[in-house]
Structure 1
Amino acid sequence: MSKNLNISLLRTFVAVAELGQITRAAAQVNVSQSAASQQISRLEDQLGVCLLQRSSNKVKLSTEGEQLYANARKLLALNDRIVTDVMKAREVVEIRFGVPHDIVERVSPPIVKKFCAENPNVFIQLLSMSTNELLDDMAKGKIDLLLATEPMDTTLGEVMMVDSLVWVGAQGARALEVDPLPVSLGDSHDRFSQVAIDALNEAGLRWRQINQPDGLGSVLAMLAAGMVVAPFLSKMLPAGLFEIKESRLPNLPQFQVNLIIRPHENRTIVLNLAAHVEAYFNEMTGKAI
């Protein structure tokens, strides 16, 4: 007939075997001396053997005790490993994922939704700012992986997509009838601002910069109202906005969207998120997976 051994009893027994004294063993397993003695007696009764040879100030293992000790250590190690593995599986892991503010609305929802559905114990902290600011934060150890909008031929990270920078606005935007042309551009950290400024100036177009200090939300609101135009990647147009194809607006260069993982970051769960990001862009661009 099989018997189920009590892990607590075995833990006390192993402590006694290794320390040679019930008093010291009791302190190690955080019970009283009398409780430890009772636990050893219960284990002996359960197994029907004498496990210890007791003297006035020391105990030795009996032959049966020696046999049990070797197996008990293995059983305790297995027990502790099982508990650790189960607790680790339930532990909530945080990944800090950076996405530039001009593509976050389009890119983040499908990637985060799918990844979190497959990894319910992972919490993604989504950080959105300019590419320069994201890279600065990664250098400070504040971001685990990020997407960056970079000029062509940038070698930092892995290229997910190459896309054209285009002028964007509302359909029938009133801004196109205004002289000088109102253009919404980011601050000095923004990757698209300087190339847009250079293109406008080289084209000899009269324009004025409209600053929106409250961030992308106010920019999108002004775009939706038709009051400004702004540069965005053609495959990352915000909802409700359109590419403006007008001859007087200068052409803008292509950009890369690169995936960058923090140096020495090798956690499987972070690499798993990186794989989801790559799969998303492969599907978007029709690239073979």
Structure 2
Amino acid sequence: MTASEKPNRTLFDLDLLRAMVMVADCASFTTAAARLHSTQSTISQKIRRLEEMAGHPLLVRGNRDVHPTDAGQLVLGHARQLLALNDQLLEALAGTTVAVTVRLGVPEDFVSAATTQLLGAFNREHPQVKLEVTSGLSRDLANGYDHGELDLILVKQRRNSRAAAACWPETMVWIDSARNGCIGLDPVPLVTFPPRGLYRDDIIDAIEALGRRWRISFTSSSLSGIQGAVADGMGISLLPARALSREHTVLGAEQGLPPIDTFEIALLHRATADPLVKALAVRLTGLLDQERAGTLT
């Protein structure tokens, strides 16, 4: 008797495996249910059935998310392969190319000509890819990634705050208006991102360490809004060096302001991501390496 002829051999249901993959990617039963156009109770039942078939717990519910057990990681790897084979079979039968959606999130200041050229070239090389790009604040991109809404993100974060596929130190500069400087005013006007936004606490802590009084004069969720407010004399701010323009002047030790070297640029994707997600991550890594080396034309 061959292995395939053995009686009572377990056959895993692709529908159950798909539910498992979706919950793991979204780190949430609720989000997975919405994306599968199902209910949370139905998804939970499917996971229980799959765990019964596997003979092991596959997912663990944490305080805020859901993550796979060791057995769950094993099942996930094989589940993705089986689901991919299923798609390949459908493709062969239909004579069409299976579309793959890659959802990328990038900060506003990384949406440059070089980035869009790279994305366009990637799409031409991989016509089966449906590329969806979201631009926004790093905290919002990270939140979307954590909830399974994005596959690949480029974010600015405090160094080593979370594991990344690649990361680069972020050079920060204190900036003031080149025409109407504000550093000498009392209280010092500050231009910042909203509460809990990047750099805000660092700006306030540095000014207070100088014994200077301060006030928030302008708040914006937009990088261009921050840049414009500083250029027009609304206050000083702290931004990545790439955001500096000719309308700004750089502040520093002469004004008593300390260097800030606690931030990094991080590229994140899941270890179980689709190979095309990882391929795009490699391309973005190359672009950022070129930018850091100053060889980008």
TM range (shorter): 0.5 to 0.7
Q: Which amino acid in structure 2 is aligned with residue 225 of structure 1? A: D
Instruction: Give, in angstroms, the shift of residue 186 of structure 1.
Output: 1.2
Aligned to 2:136: 129
Q: Report 1:210-289 matches (<5 A).
A: 210-213=217-220, 215-234=222-241, 236-242=242-248, 244-246=250-252, 247-254=254-261, 255-262=263-270, 264-265=272-273, 267-286=274-293
Out of 153, 173, 178, the position equivalent to 2:180 is: 173
TM-score by length of 1: 0.60
Distance 1:215 1:202 in 2: 27
- Residue of structure 2 aligned with 1:81, choices 66, 78, 92: 92
CA displacement 1:225-253 (0-9 Å, x = unmatched): 2322211122x225445451342251142
Percent identical residues: 19
TM-score, structure 2 as length reference: 0.59
Change (3 A) 1:285 1:97: same
For 2:49, the equivalent position in structure 1 comes to: none
Rate the CA distance shift 1:251–1:107 in 2: closer, same or farther, 3 A.
farther
Distance in 2 (alpha carbons) for counterparts of 1:182 and 1:216? 18
CA deviations on 1:31-72 (whole Å, 9 max, x unpaired) are xxxxxxxxxxxxxxxxxxxxxxxxxxxxxxxxxxxxxxxxxx
8 Å Cα contact 1:170-1:242 kept in structure 2: yes
Structure 1 unaligned residues grouped into runs of 5+: 1-76
Q: Does 1:205 align with 2:220?
A: no
Q: Distance in 1 between matches of 2:200 and 2:175?
A: 14
Aligned in 2, Cα 1:218/1:189: closer, same or farther, shift over 3 Å?
Answer: same
2: distance between equivalents of 1:80 and 1:131? 37
Report which stretch shifted further, 181-190 or 115-124: 115-124
What are the Cα deviations for residues 213-271 of structure 1, in whole angstroms up to 9, with x where unaligned? Answer: 5633432321232322211122x225445451342251142111111114532x22211
